[in-house]
């Protein structure tokens, strides 16, 4: 399925606030979406997941993946939808044996254990092993019918590598960092393979109907500044430059999100030809804005734990994030989001408080 297969005109965007911000056009208020907006904090998500059986079956079923993508939009006035899928679809398609055990994170039965394992990694055909993701994208795009734009995504090569080498979630990242220090050549081969795979995967998502892209570098912050540059940033730079040189993806806005990195690293991340960067809650948007000089749009950065607070405190925190970014200029800009994904035990009503507060307080800042 390609973009041309989607009836033109049928879905000219009714709400294009998110894309306008990324293109440097004027908006009436700050655009807003919520990382992990479809997920376990919503009872209707838990119900659909139970119908699917398990998490990967939900991702593999285009109709159900579409249903959960649209669930948060039925509750809240959000300005973008994000494909319901996971970053671990790529290593799963490579045959690493992904499973999600109840109450635990992801587990790979065949993690990368040797240089030979890395040498044998394929370049995937996204219209073969990952066709189910593209089916979900085109199904969601049709169902949205132009209501809001659809964001496609991937993990960054480094963040994917952490799961592939550790065999799942990690606290210390000792195995993957050991690989980086002991076998830098093998590490580079892994980054090169994943850069290629992420590029073709994101391009295929655009061909299937994704209107913006985001790369999640969730574990960029566990690297030293030098390694961050050499390993994670370098791989993301290759992907962005491929996307910007390809006629299919050249005009698709790209957001890069490295969680847990310092301000210098955010400045580097803003300099790869991408339109936006994600900012976690450990930074003040005012500092990041001053450091990046309105070069890119900043997305973020309310602490997800603020949603545990009482409604009035949430409203004040939303105000503080908007004020920290400050008044928009012709370049740069702000897309409101959390600084990381919403926690599964947040009452859904708290998200309404957040959304209404962004709508109420943000129009004074935009241009």
Under the criterion CB under 6 A, does residue 149 sit at the interface with ligand 1CP? no
Nearer to ligand 1CP, 36 or 319 (CB): 36
Q: Provide the minimum distance between the beta carbon of 149 and ligand 1CP in the complex, in angstroms, as a whole number.
A: 14
* Catalytic option among 17, 29, 49, 315: 49
C-alpha to C-alpha distance for 283 and 306, rounded to whole angstroms = 15
By CB under 6 A, the count of residues binding ligand 1CP is 20
315 included as an active-site residue: no
d(CA 88, CA 274): 23
CB of 282 to ligand 1CP, least distance (A): 14
Residue with tokens 């962005």, as numbered in its chain? 240
Q: Residue 158 and residue 176: Cα distance in Å, rounded?
A: 9
Residue nearest to ligand 1CP (CB): 169
**Using rule CB under 6 A, residue 301 touches ligand 1CP:** no
Smallest gap from residue 194 Cβ to ligand 1CP (A): 14
Among 11, 67, 79, 86, indicate the residue that binds ligand 1CP (CB under 6 A). 86
CB of 349 to ligand 1CP, least distance (A): 18
Rounded CA separation 86/133 (Å): 9
49 labelled catalytic? yes
User: How many CA atoms within 13 Å lie on the side-chain side of 205?
Assistant: 30
Query: Does 40 interact with ligand 1CP (rule: CB under 6 A)?
Result: yes
Q: Which of 162, 155, 255, 249 has its CA nearest to residue 198?
A: 155
Contact assessment for residue 304 and residue 343, using Cβ atoms and an 8 Å cutoff:
yes
Do 239 and 197 touch, CB atoms closer than 8 A?
A: no
DSSP alpha helix (H) spans, 17-156: 17-22, 43-52, 55-60, 62-75, 89-93, 115-119, 131-144
CB-CB contact of 259 with 221 (8 Å): yes
35 near ligand 1CP, rule: CB under 6 A: yes
135 binding ligand 1CP? (CB under 6 A): no
Active site residue 75: no
Q: Which stretch binds ligand 1CP (CB under 6 A): 79-87, 109-117, 181-189, 289-297?
A: 79-87
Catalytic residue, chosen from 11, 79, 86, 280, is 86
Identify which of residues 68 and 118 has a Cβ nearer to ligand 1CP in the complex. Answer: 68
CA-CA distances (angstroms) from residue 222 to 157, 174, 182? 14, 10, 17
Interaction between residue 57 and ligand 1CP (CB under 6 A): no
Instruction: Please give the positions annotated as active site.
Output: 36, 40, 49, 86, 163
Binding site for ligand 1CP (CB under 6 A): 35-40, 49, 55, 82, 84, 86-88, 105-106, 153, 169, 216, 218, 341
């Amino acid at each position: 399925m390609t973009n041309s297969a989607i009836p033109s005109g049928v879905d000219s965007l009714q709400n294009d606030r998110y894309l306008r911000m990324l293109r440097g056009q004027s908006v009436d208020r700050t655009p807003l979406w919520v990382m992990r907006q479809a997920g376990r904090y919503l009872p209707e998500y838990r119900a659909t997941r139970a119908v699917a059986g398990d998490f990967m079956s939900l991702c593999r079923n285009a109709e159900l993946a579409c249903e959960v993508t649209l669930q948060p939009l039925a509750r809240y006035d959000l300005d973008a939808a994000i494909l319901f899928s996971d970053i671990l679809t790529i290593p799963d398609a490579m045959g690493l044996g992904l499973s999600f055990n109840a109450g635990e994170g992801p587990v790979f039965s065949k993690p990368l254990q040797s240089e030979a394992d890395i040498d044998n990694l394929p370049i995937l055909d996204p219209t073969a092993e990952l066709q189910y993701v593209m089916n979900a994208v085109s199904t969601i795009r049709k169902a949205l019918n132009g209501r809001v734009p659809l964001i496609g995504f991937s993990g960054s090569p480094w963040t994917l590598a952490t799961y592939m080498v550790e065999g799942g979630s990690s606290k210390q990242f000792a195995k993957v960092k050991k690989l980086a220090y002991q076998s830098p050549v093998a590490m580079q081969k892994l980054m090169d393979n994943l850069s290629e795979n992420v590029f073709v995967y994101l391009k295929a998502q655009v061909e299937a109907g994704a209107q913006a892209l985001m790369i999640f570098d969730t574990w960029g912050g566990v690297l030293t500044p030098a390694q961050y540059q050499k390993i994670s940033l370098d791989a993301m730079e290759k992907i962005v430059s491929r996307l910007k040189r390809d006629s299919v993806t050249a005009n698709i806005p790209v957001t890069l999100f490295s969680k847990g990195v310092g301000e210098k690293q955010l400045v580097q991340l803003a300099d790869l030809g991408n339109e936006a960067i994600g900012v976690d809650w450990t930074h003040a948007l005012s500092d990041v804005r001053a450091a990046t000089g309105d070069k890119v749009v900043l997305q973020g950065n309310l602490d997800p734990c603020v949603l545990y607070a009482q409604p009035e405190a949430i409203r004040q925190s939303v105000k503080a994030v908007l004020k920290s970014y400050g008044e928009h200029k012709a370049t740069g800009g702000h897309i409101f989001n959390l600084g990381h994904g919403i926690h599964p035990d947040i009452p859904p009503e708290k998200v309404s408080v957040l959304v209404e507060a962004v709508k109420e307080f943000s129009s004074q800042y935009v241009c």
